Chains A and B, each alone.
Chain A
Amino acid sequence: MDPVTPLIADSSPATDPGVAARAVELCQDYEQKIHVRTDRLFAGLMGLQWVAGVLFALWVSPLAWAGGTSRTHLHVWAALFLGGLLSVFPAALALLRPGERSTRYVIAVAQMLMGALLIHLTGGRIETHFHVFGSLAFLAFYRDWRVLVPATVVVALDHLLRGYFFPQSVYGVIAASPWRWLEHAGWVVFEDVFLLLSVYRSIREMRDRAERTAALEHQLRTRAVLVEDLRKAQKQAEVASRAKSDFLASMSHELRTPLNAIILYSELLEEEAMDRPGDQSVEDLRKIQSAGKHLLELINGILDLSKIEAGKMSVTPEEFDVRSMLSDVVDTVRPLVHKNSNRLTVNVADSVTTVNADVTKTRQIVLNLVSNAAKFTRLGSVTIDVTRSSGGARDYIEFRISDTGVGMTPEQTRRIFEPFTQADVTTARKYGGTGLGLAIVSSLCQLMDGSISVDSRPDAGSRFTVLLPVQPLQPAENHADAAA
């Protein structure tokens, strides 16, 4: 099994000091948000407890009586003023200084004292003692174990002092053991243990999350840098490619002019030599012409390919008759077909009439494919099938050029449309050609919004299928395609 290659192979995020520092920063940020949010929750709770305490006192013990006279019960004043004192200061800190450590410590103390007040107002009911345990659980929302310390100390002190001065109100006996407060405090510590575990796990999860986020940020940053580098490299490559194409285009032009002169003058010299019987230079002049024409073909190919790559090749659509264009092609390739003793068949469907496309480039595509078929087939057949088909919203004309020639292996088929590529290294020697023809054909097909595909098997022939749109895209369609 191959090892998985990481997308980014630089320093591991887990060991990167920058990532670790970012994780700490994120964790602190999470903690601060939690502290602020919990402060605000407690500010609301303080207000609620205050109001609830006052309402409860007014309901249960509104008046203290002595015979036939009454006055406001001390519980009402305690709920109003002591409850207000216990609520307002921590609530103010929570609103004015949210997230500060001292704020949550004051809240912790206030919440426990509020518990003591509420327990008193309800006549020491055991049910109200759950306020203390609930408050401790609520304080654990801070995910700061230190907050539980002052809260626990307040509960312990409350029992210690009341147990010492008023033992009967706490323990129900006139004289209690001086250590009995430890039993009550012990139950609070018992809950603290679970809350501390919960806080510890929460913090660990928060740290894990911060580390994962920091690592992800690091990866995204690194990837963005990589993408930017790739974009720059691609731009540079495009500039270089365009410069190369410009150079080749101008160079080809400069080469073609003297080469045409060489071919032309060698033809003239050949004609003159042929007028002189026995002149031995005829064969040499023919070799010069052959070599010159091959070179010209190569230069023309390079020039076409360069133009396409440089984006300088334009398409000029015009209405033309497909059968007429095919007739020209057949006339051109007939000598080559006959030379290799092949049979050429052309089948044109009735639905094929005219198309609106670049006739020169269409002819170049078909001619190249039929020439190749004739060149690589001996004592066989070459067939041109032309039909009309629909693909989505557009109509296409389909040229299918089949032969019974040498064919290609799948590997050769895959590379056949690459420039300067032929089926194998012996092909050029055996059959000639520049290795640019199919690359140009493929590029022309793309330029005309068409496509080309090949199906071939060794010694069983090949079949090239070209699809070209019957009508060029309208500007609106172009726009829609671009938007899509």
Chain B
Amino acid sequence: MTRAVQGFSEAADSDNALTFTSRRVVVPALAAVWLGLAGTGLWVLWAYENRPGTDATAPQQWPGDTRLARADGRPTLVFLAHPRCSCTRASLTELTEILARATTRPKTHIVFIRPDGFERNWEKTDLWKRAMSLPGVTVTRDDAGVEAARFGAATSGQTLLYDAAGTLLFSGGITGSRGHEGENAGELALVNAINSGTARARASVFGCPLFSWTL
């Protein structure tokens, strides 16, 4: 009888030890897997955030067939955007910042594309309203992206700066990553180009594709 009880006790101790060991192993193992998955997820997100869109193949001289008016005696800035791209909110914020910092205010066009087949006022989103609220800015609807094509733009947020003579000074994006506000290389280069009137620069552009998905 005593032996049986003792045996039971040993078995119980063994089970407890097993449970204890399991806990010591299982929880850290689960935590490691969890941390790995979380890290991977965040990495995917960061990669998406920092993957630039297709750069514009902008003409070096102001295109002659555009309906947008170029300014005489001062630079002209063209901002091409998709009206429903959430990433472009950050670009508009940065554009506001750039215009505020410009010593010579350029003539500014904000052009929102409207693809074929969408109803009237489809483009009148919060981005449109926000663009309209900027002083001294011309907001234009671009049916079927004709103007965007003339300027070679492929990504929402594409910003182009032409000098008073119609020569391209800057082509690129004005956010540091997709949809992220804050100081960035494109913004600094554009401000420099506006204020100097001569510096040429390019920067990556982050935003939704203006026409079709890219791989």
Within 8 A of B (CB), among A66-98: 66-70, 73-75, 78, 81-82, 85-86, 89, 93, 97
* A74 in contact with B46 (CB, 8 Å): no
Q: Tell me if A116 is interfacial: C-beta within 8 Å of chain B.
A: yes
Partner of B211, one of A63, A67, A89, A110: A67
Q: Tell me if A125 is interfacial: C-beta within 8 Å of chain B.
A: yes
Within 8 A of A (CB), among B117-161: 117-118, 145, 156
How far, in whole Å, are A442 and B137 apart by their CA atoms in the complex?
Answer: 111
Q: Which residue of chain A lies nearest to B89 when distances are taken between CB atoms in the complex?
A: A123
Q: Tell me if A336 is interfacial: C-beta within 8 Å of chain B.
A: no
Contact string against A for B residues 1-38, beta-carbon threshold 8 Å, 1 for contact and 0 otherwise: 00000000000000000000000000110110011011
* A69 in contact with B84 (CB, 8 Å): no
Q: Which residue of chain A lies nearest to B40 when distances are taken between CB atoms in the complex?
A: A82
Q: Tell me if B45 is interfacial: C-beta within 8 Å of chain A.
A: yes
* A66 in contact with B42 (CB, 8 Å): no
Partner of A165, one of B46, B179, B183: B46
* A124 in contact with B37 (CB, 8 Å): no
Could you say which interface size class chain B belongs to? 35 or more
* B118 in contact with A169 (CB, 8 Å): no
Q: Tell me if B165 is interfacial: C-beta within 8 Å of chain A.
A: no
Q: Tell me if A113 is interfacial: C-beta within 8 Å of chain B.
A: yes
Q: Which residue of chain A lies nearest to B116 when distances are taken between CB atoms in the complex?
A: A68
Q: Tell me if A1 is interfacial: C-beta within 8 Å of chain B.
A: no
How far, in whole Å, are A82 and B41 apart by their CA atoms in the complex?
Answer: 6
Contact string against A for B residues 181-206, beta-carbon threshold 8 Å, 1 for contact and 0 otherwise: 11111000000000000000000000
* B176 in contact with A168 (CB, 8 Å): yes
Chain B residues with Cβ below 8 Å from A124 are 177, 179-182
Known interface pairs A60-B86, A166-B49; A78-B41 also in contact (CB < 8 Å): yes
Known interface pairs A73-B86, A85-B34; A169-B45 also in contact (CB < 8 Å): no
How far, in whole Å, are A42 and B27 apart by their CA atoms in the complex?
Answer: 18
Chain A residues with Cβ below 8 Å from B102 are none
Interface size on A, residues (CB 8 A): 42
How far, in whole Å, are A430 and B30 apart by their CA atoms in the complex?
Answer: 102
Partner of A65, one of B27, B85, B177, B182: B85
* A66 in contact with B209 (CB, 8 Å): yes
Q: Tell me if A120 is interfacial: C-beta within 8 Å of chain B.
A: yes
* B28 in contact with A102 (CB, 8 Å): yes
Chain A residues with Cβ below 8 Å from B183 are 172-173
Q: Which residue of chain A lies nearest to B83 when distances are taken between CB atoms in the complex?
A: A65
How far, in whole Å, are A86 and B37 apart by their CA atoms in the complex?
Answer: 9
Known interface pairs A125-B181, A166-B177; A89-B41 also in contact (CB < 8 Å): no
- Please indicate which of the listed interface residues B82, B87, B179, B209 has the most CB atoms of chain A within 10 Å of its own CB: B179
* B177 in contact with A169 (CB, 8 Å): yes
Q: Tell me if B80 is interfacial: C-beta within 8 Å of chain A.
A: no
Residue positions of A touching B, CB distance < 8 A: 60-61, 63-70, 73-75, 78, 81-82, 85-86, 89, 93, 97, 100, 102, 106, 109-110, 113, 116-117, 120, 123-126, 162, 165-166, 168-169, 172-174
A-B contacts, 7 of them at CB < 8 A, read: A63-B84, A65-B209, A66-B208, A66-B213, A66-B214, A68-B116, A168-B50
Residue positions of B touching A, CB distance < 8 A: 27-28, 30-31, 34-35, 37-38, 41-42, 44-46, 48-50, 82, 84-87, 89-90, 113, 115-118, 145, 156, 176-177, 179-185, 208-214
